[in-house]
Amino acid sequence: MYGNRKIWKLSARRALSGRWGTLIVAQVIVSAINLVAGNLTMMLFPGYDGLSLILSQVFSFLVSLVMCIFTAGLYYMYLNVARGKEYSYKNLIYFFKNQPDKIIVASFVMAAIAWLTALPAGYYIYVTDPGTTLEQQMAVMQTYLMISLGGIILNMLLTVPLTLTYFILADENVGGLEALKRSMQLMRGNIGKYILLQLSFLPWYFLCLFTMGIGIIFLMPYIQMTGIMFYRDIKGEIYRQEPQAATADREEKEQDDYNSEA
């Protein structure tokens, strides 16, 4: 790996220059489709009885698999932008025509992990009597939150090594299971760097709160493109294919560090 998160962010800003609006629209399109799909689920299965809940979960699961094909198309678009290749909104539906099965296989595995790690909390709240007193209800809620937190931590431990899966699917001609394996291989020794990279965006998330969430529309392309640069750097692509740009990024980063020290 050649760079660090400052270089990845700098490379991301350069790649986004003049293209920010297009990627914002692409991001909004995918988010809007996801929102419509979620509302459709609630409209089709509005009840709270056992059958409605089961059908709702099954339908949501199937919808999530379809949405993952759009997500892979979005990453394909980002990769094209990052590499200076031709890109368009048609990239969003690219994988509906090109091996959608590999996206579905990988998405099924990751969705299954998410479902299994959330299952204990869901089962607990479904079978537990909340009680009639405030103390009983608070105790049930506390236990539920602890189980949920455990599920979230377990889900992160299992899925962070798989975080590059969609990048790989959008980039390489490999199957879904192979993409999962490749992601684990590439993330070996880089998980800490990835987590620190994601944490470095927390101040931006807080700033978005003051914009009533509107700022997130502009932030997401920056985060996504930085992730693309992280992926390209792990593969050695930035330095191998763009040595002058990579060197310039490093020199600019070092100059920024020097100025901050001065």
**Tens of pLDDT, residues 4-17:** 888 899 999 999 99
Is the predicted pLDDT of residue 261 greater than 70, yes or no? Answer: no
pLDDT over 90 (residue 180) = yes
Q: Check if the beta carbon of residue 170 is closer than 8 Å to that of residue 72.
A: yes
| pLDDT score recorded for residue 251 | 52
- Residue 19: is it exposed, middle or buried by C-beta count within 10 angstroms (0-12/13-18/19+)? middle
H, E, C per residue of 36-93 = HHHHHHHHHCCCCCHHHHHHHHHHHHHHHHHHHHHHHHHHHHHHHHHCCCCCCHHHHH
**Residue 22 included in any domain:** yes
What the block records as the tokens of 208 is 């978005």
Cβ–Cβ under 8 Å, residues 211 and 151: no
What span, in angstroms and rounded, lies between the C-alpha atoms of 141 and 139? 5
**pTM, whole model, 2 decimals?**
0.81
- Cα–Cα distance for residue pair 57/55, rounded to 1 Å: 5
Could you tell me if residue 125 is inside a domain? yes
pLDDT digits (tens, 9 = 90+) for 205-252: 998 888 887 889 899 999 999 999 999 999 888 765 554 454 555 555
Residue 135 lies inside a defined structural domain of this protein: yes
Would you say residue 182 lies in a domain? yes
Q: Is the pLDDT of residue 187 over 70?
A: yes
**Distance from C-alpha of 175 to C-alpha of 208, rounded to nearest angstrom:** 37
Structural domain contains residue 127:
yes
The answer as to whether 262 is a domain residue is: no
Tell me the residue range of the domain where 77 lies: 5-256
The answer as to whether 261 is a domain residue is no
Answer whether residue 12 is part of any domain. yes
For residue 67, the tally of other CB atoms under 10 A from its CB is 16
Average pLDDT, the chain: 86
Tally the domains of the chain. Answer: 1
CA distance 167 to 76: 7
Secondary structure E strands in the chain = none
